[in-house]
A and B are shown apart, each in its own frame.
Chain A
Amino acid sequence: MAFSGFRVVKEALTGHKGWGPLWRNPEPQAQYDFIIIGGGGHGLATAYHLAKTYGKSRIAVLEKGWLGSGNIGRNTTIIRSNYLLPGNQPFYEFSMKLWENQEQDLNFNSMVSQRTIINLFHSDGQRDAYRRRGNAMHLSGAGGTLLSQHELREIAPFLNYDNARFPIKGGLRQERAGTARHDGVAWGYARAADRLGVDLIQNCEVTGFRIQAGKLQGVETTRGYIGAKKVGVAVAGSSSRVMAQAGIRLPIESHVLQAFVSEGLKPIIPGVITFGAGHFYVSQSDKGGLVFGGDIDGYNTYAQRGNLPVIEDVLEGGMALMPMLGRARLLRSWGGIMDMSMDGSPIIDRTEIEGLYLNAGWCYGGFKATPASGYTFAHLLATDTPHDTATAYRLDRFARGYVIDEKGVGAQPNLH
């Protein structure tokens, strides 16, 4: 049944007895046309778009835990399209357009909130770099405004403008950026996909691939063998582990990224603010908690928890930017495993095995990409050609010399 204001009122008047589960819990069938491995945001969005946009059926999503147990439920929920390079920016702007219509499209309140992002700059050189980035944003239709320090003081008076080492000189603002409810996004895609007949199969870990003469036949799972014509892998931090089962080594390292939330406070942070002189970014959730984070820990890990030095580093960044942070109490911190690629950009491509497709390398920025990643991966799975906005995300770009390195740091994943 569809969600609507009318329904909320009706349920309120009838004791909320009419709400049911958001999706079925089906047994796996013996054979599907499409299997998506990974019930995170990208996998669920892919299944949804395969069914909805490309009219496909006989689709399953296989998830080793519960839906949304990975990074989709662990991130700091920032959505934006303020990239620089031509391979990236049109893709992220496509994603932003999909966010803008997502709730209507999915009939689900994913709390998409275009509350703006401001990236601060602290030197004349950085201002020039941000102006260039702003121009790239305008070329893709993403918009953006360069704010002077004077304008910024009106918006965020609490920042430490006169920090002796990192004075704040202004910021690049994208008005259409913001946040969304991360779990809500997973649930919205899951429910919408289920309603289109997609089987969402939880507690089903893929443990191997059955491949004959270079052609994929199906997948081995903890719930038995399941046949498939095409399989799309969207397992984020587990990409290397899953693809190793098909004998494929990836240009990826797995790293942990931590995030933090404070106790609930009255509204104070306008939108999302990022520090340009260190790695720190902050927004405020609708419940009032300050949500913030910074750098990855920087060593290979699958532990889903980080160490104290990075916590100290992030909090130092926060204190340098907005000293009032020192008065708030930290509620909790957590970590998620990032699929850090060798150029900091994602991969959406076929593989050398016929019928096996890969969606990976999202680093710490794949939440904002969720709608477009699902759309373009579904396009690839359905048509065997890359979507117009994802043509640069080829797996062989490293061999061909077409890396998409936004930061220009080279093949060193912990620096992206």
Chain B
Amino acid sequence: MLIPHPLLGLRDAQEFTYLGDATLLNRPDPQSETADAAFHDYVYLRDNPAGVHRELWFHDAGDRSWLVVTRDTTTHEILGAELARDVKLGITA
């Protein structure tokens, strides 16, 4: 698989480490009343869809940036990649 890094162009997926569903960017508020349940869902539950999946990859053998990669889990086709930082800050290309 080749990942289209927004800064570095097409890079071999082997240069990256996979973390999982990009919802991990949305850490719950630990002060909230429902923090227990929210953290359980955040840490343990996943949609695990068959089809389009947004997921976190870390470019550890590259520029060490976190990417949000959009990929089809039924074909392995990579549909896009963004800097996780931009996603988190709401900056869209």
When distances are taken between beta carbons in the complex, the residues of chain A under 8 Å from B48 are 240-241, 250, 252-254, 300
Contact B73–A302 (Cβ < 8 Å):
yes
Question: For the complex, would chain B's binding face be called helix, strand, loop or mixed by DSSP majority?
Answer: mixed
When distances are taken between beta carbons in the complex, the residues of chain A under 8 Å from B37 are 399
**Which A24-49 residues sit within 8 Å CB-CB of chain B?**
none
- Interface range on chain B: under 10, 10 to 19, 20 to 34, or 35 or more? 20 to 34
Contact B45–A414 (Cβ < 8 Å):
no
In whole angstroms, what is the CA distance A413 to B20 when docked? Answer: 9
Contact A303–B20 (Cβ < 8 Å):
no
A309 within 8 A of B: yes
Contact B46–A298 (Cβ < 8 Å):
no
Contact A240–B18 (Cβ < 8 Å):
no
Question: For the complex, would chain A's binding face be called helix, strand, loop or mixed by DSSP majority?
Answer: mixed
- A254 to B: closest C-beta gap in Å: 6
Contact mask for chain A residues 202-241; partner B; CB cutoff 8 A; 1 contact, 0 none: 0000000000000000000000000000000000000011
Contact A302–B40 (Cβ < 8 Å):
no
- A360 to B: closest C-beta gap in Å: 11
Contact A249–B73 (Cβ < 8 Å):
no
| A240 with B76, Cβ < 8 A, contacts A299-B55, A309-B14, A414-B18 known | no
Chain A residues within 8 Å of B, Cβ to Cβ: 240-241, 244, 249-254, 298-303, 307, 309, 342, 398-399, 411-414
Given A253-B48, A299-B55, list of 20 further CB < 8 A pairs? A240-B47, A249-B41, A250-B48, A251-B46, A253-B20, A254-B73, A298-B18, A299-B13, A299-B18, A300-B55, A302-B73, A303-B76, A307-B13, A309-B13, A342-B43, A398-B43, A398-B44, A411-B44, A413-B20, A414-B18
